[in-house]
Structure 1
Amino acid sequence: MKNIYITDLDHTFLRTDLSLSNFSKTIWNAKAKHSIMSIATARTYKKTVQFLKGLEINAPMILLDGALIATVDKKIIDTKFIGKNIADTIIDEGAKFGIYPFVLTLADKNLNEAFLYSNILNTSQKEVLTRYTNDDNLIECKNIRAMDNNFKIVYMGEETILRELTLHIEKIFGNNLKYILAPEAYIGCYFLTILHKDADKSHGIRSVSEYMGFDLEKLTVFGDNFNDVGMFELAKYAVAVANAQDGVKKLANIVLPHTNDEDAVAKYLEGLNDVK
């Protein structure tokens, strides 16, 4: 039975400038000859395949925090959507706090995604959008409304406001939705991600396991932030990079001495002697 390695991308496998070193690519691709290799990320399909160009991914990818499971060649394995009515209610409730979300949604059956955003933006949201200026799936909305199949709703801003908003939305929907509130390391704010109740990396790994028929006892995962906790609890070996959040490190079996900018995942893989 092959070993399985699944890694988070941002601040774990990717460097802070969103690149992968030649060293990381070489080590990963060598390991993929004898192992099952994939990723679990909050990123969309489109962004993920851009970042992973030249990398061997031989299992379905866990995308959008587990709301989408798909192969590199766009075969959809599983989806967990927030419906339009619920999404629109969330948008309306957020408006009471003076904040509007990004809505990431499935635009068509060919796995094209839409990134909806309001024309009313806070400073953090404006900064995020500067990183997507070359993307063709951005849709500015004067009165933002969700589409039919929404992967996730993401608020960005000050921690205090987002904590209040989280509690408010939880009072309305309870455990019918999933809420991730965590620091956003690139621009120094907080983010609140709202998902289908079964959309997370843990459920995503189970979907991939069922599809591939692999043994979770052979699974190693890598991560840095609180949206990685579910897969940490599921895997045989949970590995945190040196720059991971302290709370995430406490849940890891292994804390690496290297950061994402020091090729932590690749150096760990290089040190293994598990080829069979």
Structure 2
Amino acid sequence: MKNIYITDLDHTFLRNDLSVSDYTKNTWNSYSEDSILSIATARTYMKTAQFLGGVDINAPMILLDGALIATMDKKIIDTKFMGKDISDMIIDEGWKFGIYPFILSLANSKNLTEAFLHDEVLNKHQREVLNRYSSADNLQKHSGIRAMEENFKIVYMGEEDLLRELAEHLENIFGNDLKYILAPEAYVGCYFLTILHPEADKSHGIQTISEYIGFDLEKLTVFGDNFNDIGMFNLAGTSVAMANAQPEVKDKADIVLSHNNDEDGVAKYLQGLKGA
């Protein structure tokens, strides 16, 4: 039975400049013949494929926090959507707090085309994020944003206190019909609140891939740094937290690395296994 390695992207596998070093690529790829290799990320398919040029991925990927399971060649394995009606209700409730979200949706399932929806009303954190996406061709600007029919996730960005209040408000209305993830956003120095289908998470994604491929979770090693990684930490035989991981994530990990993502922590761990 092959070993399985699944890693988060941001602040784990990617460096802070969103690159993957040659050392990490070569080390990771050296495992591809004898191991199952994949990714579990909050990122879209489009961005993930862009970042992972030259990186071997031989299993379905967990994308958009688990709302999408797909292969690198765009085969969709599973989806967990929020419909238009509940998504529009979330938007309306959020606007009572003076904030509109980003919405990540499926525009076309035949060629796995994602849409990134945003309103013309933006806060400073959202503007900074959009500056990073200025060349993306899936951006859709709206006046009075409305959701599409199939929505992967809704993301609010702002100050922690505001988003915590919004999360509590939404949970009081929608309860367990949705999943709510509040976490720090290191790139722009704020917090983000992600709203998802209740089964859209990395742990459900791992279970889906396990059933699809057929592998033993005891032989699974996962790498991560943030709160949305904890679910897969609880499932894996070995969970590895980066040196830069959130304290709560380190507490849940079997192993805490002495290297961060800018120091090729994942690759150095894998290289160490070969030397053991």
Which residue is 2:160 aligned to? 159
Distance 1:195 1:75, change over 3 A: same
Q: Distance in 2 between matches of 1:86 and 1:172?
A: 11
Partner of 2:190: 189
AA partner of residue 254 (structure 2): N
Equivalent residue number for residue 22 of structure 2: 22
Partner of 1:133: 134
Gaps of 5+ in 1: none
For residues 102-251 of structure 1, the aligned pairs below 5 Å read 102-109=102-109, 110-251=111-252
Over residues 74-105 of structure 1, what are the superposed CA-to-partner deviations in whole Å (9 max), with x where a residue is unaligned?
00000000000000000000000000000000
C-alpha separation in 2, matches of 1:90 and 1:22: 42
**Aligned residues between the structures:** 275
Task: Look up the equivalent residue of 2:262 and give its one-letter code.
Answer: D
Report whether the alignment pairs 1:62 with 2:62: yes
Q: Deviations over 1:115-136 (max 9, x none)?
A: 0001000010000000000100
CA distance in 2, matches of 1:194, 1:32: 34
5+ residue gaps, structure 2:
none
Residues 164-197 of structure 1: CA deviation (Å, up to 9, x unaligned): 0000000111011000000001111000000000
Q: Which residue of 2 aligns with 1:97?
A: 97
Query: Which residue of the partner structure matches residue 268 of structure 1?
Result: 269
Deviations 1:40-74 (CA, angstroms, capped at 9, x unpaired):
00000000000000011000000000000000000
* Aligned equivalents of 2:225, 2:129: Cα separation in 1: 20
In 2, distance between residues paired with 1:56 and 1:243? 25
| Aligned equivalents of 2:275, 2:83: Cα separation in 1 | 44
Task: Report the secondary structure of 2:221's partner residue.
Answer: strand
How far apart in 2 are the matches of 1:197 and 1:239? 25
TM-score (structure 2 length as normaliser): 0.99
Name the aligned partner's letter for residue 270 of structure 1: Q
For 2:16, what is the secondary structure of its paired residue?
Answer: coil
1:41 corresponding residue in structure 2:
41
C-alpha deviation, 1:143, in angstroms: 1.2
TM-superposed CA distance for 1:273, in Å, is 3.4
Moved over 4 A (4+): none
SS of the counterpart of 1:197? Answer: coil
Q: Distance in 2 between matches of 1:108 and 1:220?
A: 33
Question: Following TM superposition, by how much is the alpha carbon of 1:14 offset from its aligned partner in structure 2, in angstroms?
Answer: 0.2
d(CA) in 1 for partners of 2:192, 2:45:
20
Counterpart amino acid of 2:203? S
Aligned alpha-carbon RMSD (Å): 1.0
What TM-score do you get using the length of structure 1 for normalisation?
0.99
How many angstroms apart in 1 are the aligned matches of 2:128 and 2:79?
29
Shift of residue 274, structure 1, vs aligned partner? 9.4
Question: What SS does structure 2 have at the residue aligned with 1:193?
Answer: strand
